[in-house]
């Protein structure tokens, strides 16, 4: 079997994007596809387009030392992520037609509208690219539209890393649970707020815990998105839309963050054998869907109460399989990068199926 040769367009080259390209090298001999990066686009570090393949090691060094990517480009110029996507599609029409172009989207989320990722995904699908993204915006703001567009142009739109990093949530339901109806869920799905609540239990100040999450590349670029519950609300909307057939944005999720939770509250809960956790939940009643993200006081026997530090868990309520729990014992950048890799691997599998027919 020949391994498909994929041309990757990286829009976003921050913590996740750079970890992703290193991971591709680290597991090179296990990959079922060949790859080259043909473009990288960032917001403040410029962009590079090279149909023959960008030197990703040099690109990483440039960004990590604060220098512009344009130094690697034969015709450096200012371009947006959308410009880069369209330029690559023009440069590589055969790869586009053969389904070998993949947008790897890892920009930061604008919680007002789900941009810029939403426009990047739309433009890439329109240019016949497959899309993989770790950004919550597309599935949280426009899942139906983008899924229909992907189907219409016969390309894949995957976003496993949008919730619980590389731990399969969407793929588990999609691949392994046919016919099953998801009627609700309950979970701890924001790593930074869970880490902060655990730190408060240990007597560490909130600011220090947030700084640690930033240093590890886990907190959102704007950590108030984590603390105010927006990140969890975006993930909740994505889960409702994809797993429960909803049509919700993060703004329709009832939301309270943890900024009002005091160290004293957390310690008092602990002293009485309970724990405060930021809980995301959704349910279906008489055909309508409701969703919320709120700090909850949990008894010790609640499986969510035992989640400390960077642990996450999601419990799905289903009609045919009862309650199913997915637990992530530790979350880090490698797992988020793996989400992109696993999504690309599924695209490669599909390309192999095509060529063998
Ligand atoms: N970090 C995690 O553990 C984690 C886990 C799961 C999901 N995610 C999601 O992954 C995404 C990326 O996270 P990250 O930690 O890698 O963030 P990051 O380090 O802040 O990197 C974001 C990247 O996006 C670029 N960018 C921003 N706006 C852009 C635009 N309009 N056009 C082109 N590039 C743009 C930035 O460029 P400049 O640097 O030049 O500004 C940077 O390269 C986010 O959506 C996040 O929610 C992250």
HEC sequence for 128-175: CCEEEECCCHHHHHHHHHHHHHHHHHCCCEECHHHCCCCCCCHHHHHH
State pLDDT tens for residues 288-307: 999 999 999 999 999 999 99
Q: How far apart are CA 53 and CA 124, in angstroms?
A: 19
Q: Which residues of the chain have pLDDT under 70?
A: 1, 357
Element (H, E) at 261: none
Instruction: Take atom 40 of ligand 1 and give the residue whose Cα is closest.
Output: 44
DSSP strand pairing (312-318 vs 323-328):
antiparallel
Element (H, E) at 278: strand 274-285
How many residues are there in the chain?
A: 357
Element (H, E) at 283: strand 274-285
Which residues does residue 274 pair with via DSSP β-bridges, in sequence order?
Answer: 299
Starting from the edge strand earliest in sequence, which strands make up the sheet with 254-255, in order? 254-255, 288-299, 274-285, 182-188, 312-318, 323-328
CA distances (Å), origin 163, targets 136, 195, 328: 8, 16, 11
Q: Distance from the CA of 43 to the center of ligand 1, in angstroms?
A: 9
DSSP strand pairing (101-105 vs 130-133):
parallel
Among candidate residues 234, 327, 237, 317, the one with its CA nearest the CA of residue 283: 317
pLDDT computed for residue 287 by the predictor: 85
CB 84 within 8 A of CB 43: no
Burial readout 132-142 (b: 16 or more C-beta within 10 A, e: otherwise): bbbbbbbbbbb
CA dihedral 311, 316, 322, 326 (to 10 degrees): -30
Three-class SS of residue 305?
A: coil
Q: What angle do CA 310, 245, 305 make, to 5 degrees?
A: 25
Lining ligand 1 with CB less than 6 A are 11-17, 41-45, 81, 106-109, 116, 134-135, 161, 165, 217-218, 220-221, 333, 336
pLDDT computed for residue 357 by the predictor: 66
Sign of CA dihedral 333, 337, 343, 346: negative
Three-class SS of residue 296?
A: strand
Q: How far apart are CA 3 and CA 173, in angstroms?
A: 27
Please identify, by atom number, the ligand 1 atom nearest to the C-alpha of residue 80.
Answer: 32
Q: Distance from the CA of 171 to the center of ligand 1, in angstroms?
A: 23
- 49, 84, 107, best to mutate for ligand 1 pocket (most atoms within 8 Å of CB): 107
In angstroms, the first-to-last Cα distance of the chain is: 12
Considering just the CA atoms, what is the radius of gyration of the chain in Å?
21
Q: Distance from the CA of 137 to the center of ligand 1, in angstroms?
A: 12
Q: How far apart are CA 211 and CA 195, in angstroms?
A: 11
* Backbone phi, psi, residue 164, to 5°: 55, 40
Please identify, by atom number, the ligand 1 atom nearest to the C-alpha of residue 18.
Answer: 16
Mark residue 12 as left, alpha or beta (left: phi above 0; alpha: psi -120 to 50; beta: remaining): left
Q: How many CB atoms lie within 10 A of CB 292?
A: 18
DSSP strand pairing (288-299 vs 274-285):
antiparallel
Q: Distance from the CA of 221 to the center of ligand 1, in angstroms?
A: 7
Q: How far apart are CA 351 and CA 95, in angstroms?
A: 12
């Amino acid at each position: 079997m020949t391994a498909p040769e994929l041309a990757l367009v990286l829009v976003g080259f921050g913590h996740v994007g750079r970890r992703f390209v290193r991971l591709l090298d680290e597991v090179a001999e296990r990959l079922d596809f060949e790859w080259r990066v043909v473009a990288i686009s960032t917001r403040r570090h410029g962009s590079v387009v090279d149909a023959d393949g960008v030197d990703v090691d040099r690109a990483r060094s440039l960004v990590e030392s604060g220098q512009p990517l344009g130094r690697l480009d034969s015709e450096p110029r200012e371009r947006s992520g959308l410009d880069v996507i369209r330029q690559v599609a023009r440069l590589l029409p055969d790869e586009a037609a053969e389904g070998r172009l993949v947008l790897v989207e890892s920009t930061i989320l604008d919680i007002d509208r789900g941009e810029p990722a939403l426009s990047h995904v739309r433009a890439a699908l329109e240019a016949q690219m497959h899309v993989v993204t770790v950004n919550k915006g597309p599935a949280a703001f426009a899942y139906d539209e983008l899924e229909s567009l992907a189907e219409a142009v016969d390309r894949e739109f995957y976003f496993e890393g949008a919730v619980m990093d590389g731990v399969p949530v969407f793929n588990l339901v999609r691949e392994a649970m046919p016919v099953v109806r998801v009627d609700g869920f309950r979970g701890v799905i924001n790593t930074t707020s869970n880490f902060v609540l655990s730190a408060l239990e240990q007597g560490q100040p909130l600011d220090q815990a947030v700084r640690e999450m930033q240093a590890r590349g886990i907190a959102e670029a704007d950590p108030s998105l984590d603390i105010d519950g927006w990140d969890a609300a975006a993930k909740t909307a994505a889960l409702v839309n994809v797993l429960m057939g909803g049509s919700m944005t993060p703004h329709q999720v009832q939301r309270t963050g943890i900024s009002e939770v005091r160290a004293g509250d957390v310690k008092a809960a602990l002293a009485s054998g309970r724990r405060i956790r930021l809980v995301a939940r959704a349910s279906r009643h008489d055909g309508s869907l409701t969703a919320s993200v709120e700090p909850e006081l949990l008894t010790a026997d609640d499986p969510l109460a035992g989640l400390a530090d960077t642990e996450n868990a999601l419990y799905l309520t289903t009609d045919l399989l009862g309650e199913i729990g997915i637990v992530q014992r530790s979350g880090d950048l490698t797992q988020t990068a793996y989400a992109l890799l696993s999504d690309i691997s599924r695209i490669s599998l599909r390309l192999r199926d095509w060529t063998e027919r």
